[in-house]
Chain A
Amino acid sequence: MGYFRGFAVTFRKLWEKRVTIPYPEQKRDKPERLHGRHVLNRYEDGMEKCIGCELCAGVCPARCIYVRGADNRPDDPVSPGERFGYVYEINYLRCIHCDLCVEACPTGAITESKLFEFSFTNRSDAVYTKDELLVDGETGRPQHLPWEDWREGEDADTSGWMRATSPSGSAAYAGRVSWSGELGYGVRRPEQGQSGPEAGDDEGNVA
């Protein structure tokens, strides 16, 4: 009676627990590294991390990032270094949240928050400018823009990404994975496999 086994299966499902949830009222916990709206990070002294190199724009498969770099004025630098991101725009009508920009960024300037439920009422609102993407100068948290619906925890750990650079400046760790110091977060302890005497302490000082 193999034909009728299927009927038993569907009938049994009537009393099983539902796998879906009533979405807007209840929401599942978001994964720690969910890809959401981007943020542009700052160093602990408030300097912008972006150096205007356009690697993010080059790697973007959706061509949604527009960057123009400019030279820093020596007396009033925006970022520590020669150049900074003068114009930085992301078009969220095109962005697919693949996170390749985050992978490409040499300074960890661009990362993603966990906010993905945002919408716009016109096209110009969908293009986020540098002013809107930059984290708050005091707390290092993403700005909560008027049309965005931020929920608990969505703006936490926006800097929780590994960097393929050596922010501590130690030559021994050039090219190795570690954390960059960041406004609002400080320097984190290395993850497993990154620890060692050369890794530096919590402040990023190498012993």
Chain B
Amino acid sequence: MVIAADPLLLGPVDLEVFLIVLLKVVVSFALLMVSVMLMVWFERKLISDMQNRIGPDVAGPWGILQTLADGIKLFFKEDLIPENADRPVFKLAPYLSLVPAFLVFAIVPIGGDFRTGDGTVGWFGHRTFLQVADPPMGILLFLALSSVAVYGVMLAGWSSGSKYPLLGSVRASAQMISYEAALGLAIATVFLTGGSLSTHEIVSSQSNWNWNVATTGVVPFLIFLVAGTAELNRPPFDLVEAEQELVGGFHTEYSSIRFALFFLAEFMNVITMSAIAVTLFLGGPDGPILVERVAWLWPILWFSLKLSAFLFTFVWLRATLPRIRYDQLMDLGWKVLIPLALGWFLLVAALNVGRDRGWSPVPVVLVSVAVLWAGTAMLGGAVRKARAERRALEFGSDEALDAGNGA
């Protein structure tokens, strides 16, 4: 079994190779920590700009060290564990949240020239990918880890021994599990066009402006954005920690460094989700190399630029949109996003099969659209019928039931 297609690991693994891998791990860890620090600052600064406030401006130039100051403060605060808490689980939960957030970043290629080369860079006489690991199951690792992160949130609320965290964690698990389906289906469309699960292969297939955002049609990208925002529990889908209803949600009972870990994981997830979105839909580090002398720098620069655009969008969403209601959240997830993602996936699959078989694209599109339309109509009918029956149960009216049957 090939653990990784990285040319670095194809030859004999000696001490030098081991040290290079270790260096990559350390660098990506440090990079992620620093970018989380900057992200927290960026979010606070940007949202205060959008609200005509000044925002943090005391710690360091433009308040850039504010996160550091907050981290030190949290570190020295008293660490409370509620009396009714399930102690081992309560202590474990923050790490279940944090570790997956770290691990996801390992599969993101942050640089390397995919246009003229094969995406490798020279490091100490070895060719290697600019990503910590490139496992063949690639993006499935991301889906698996983001499912593990649900455990962190769920167990945190469960083990707190308090009602608000419990309600918050129930919401969180329901929300994250429902939106993961739409997220997975949007990603599945990328598998069809990229032809691989490996992130490196997906990025390779997108080089020279052949970005998946266009080749899959914009819809999966938009679904990924919405479902990703819900998966991150960020506004307008932050019902998990809706302050007005649940105090702080699943982390209400957490304080000190344990709270800081949740906080860190949350912002780290924002960055990794953006990085995954860039990798899957915006060609990863793909972009023109403008100055040949520092050719290695440009892919990294393009990647950072795309990443920043996503981070900006997430903050922008938070500044603009009010929180949606819980039933609206579930409606959007189950009745709109999942059917839409599934339908689009089938459409892209039909087109791919048609192209492979040499069928004419026009009848393929027509038949697909007809099938999808029939599916949509049946789904709509089922939703209407269910709604009418529910109304009849609630109000005990046969009239409503008849109306539902007639429709």
Contacts and interface: CB of A to CB of B under 8 A. Distances in A.
Interface of A: 6-7, 9-11, 13-14, 16-22
Interface in B316-362: 316, 319-321
A22 B320 contact: no
B44 to A, nearest CB: 14
A174 to B, nearest CB: 52
A19 B53 contact: yes
Given A6-B320, A7-B316, A7-B320, A14 B53 contact: no
Given A10-B319, A13-B51, A20-B53, 10 more contacts: A9-B320, A10-B50, A10-B316, A10-B320, A14-B46, A14-B50, A18-B52, A18-B54, A19-B52, A22-B54
A22 B51 contact: no
B57 interface: yes
Contact of B52 (A6, A7, A20): A20
A21 to B, nearest CB: 8
A22 B319 CA distance: 22
B49 interface: yes
Interface string B13-54: 000000000000000000000000000000000100111111
15 contacts: A6-B320, A6-B321, A7-B316, A7-B320, A11-B50, A13-B52, A14-B49, A16-B52, A18-B53, A18-B54, A19-B53, A20-B52, A20-B54, A22-B54, A22-B57
Nearest to B58: A22
Contacts of B54: 18, 20-22
B35 to A, nearest CB: 22
B143 to A, nearest CB: 29
A21 B321 CA distance: 26
Interface size class of B (residues with CB under 8 A): 10 to 19
Contacts of A13: 49-52
B149 to A, nearest CB: 29
A16 B54 CA distance: 11
Interface-central residue, A10, A14, A19, by most chain B CB under 10 Å: A10
A20 B48 CA distance: 10
Query: Which 5 pairs between the two chains have the least Cβ-Cβ distance?
Result: A10-B50, A10-B319, A10-B320, A6-B320, A19-B52
Contacts of B46: 14
A21 B51 CA distance: 13
A19 B50 CA distance: 11
Contact of A11 (B52, B316, B321): B316
Contacts of A20: 52-54
A10 B49 CA distance: 9
A157 to B, nearest CB: 31
A14 B57 CA distance: 16
A1 to B, nearest CB: 14
A24 B46 CA distance: 22
A112 B320 CA distance: 43
B354 to A, nearest CB: 34
Contacts of B49: 13-14
Nearest to B46: A14
A18 B105 CA distance: 37
Interface string B173-211: 000000000000000000000000000000000000000
A11 B52 CA distance: 11
A19 B49 CA distance: 10
A10 B321 CA distance: 10
Nearest to A13: B50
A75 B221 CA distance: 93
Contacts of B51: 13
Contacts of B50: 10-11, 13-14
Interface in B287-319: 316, 319
Interface in B48-69: 49-54, 57
A25 to B, nearest CB: 9
A16 B319 CA distance: 15
A132 to B, nearest CB: 33
A21 B57 CA distance: 11
Contacts of A14: 46, 49-50
Contacts of B52: 13, 16-20
Contacts of A22: 54, 57
Nearest to B57: A22
A21 B55 CA distance: 10
Nearest to A12: B50
B58 to A, nearest CB: 8
A6 B320 CA distance: 6
Contacts of B57: 22
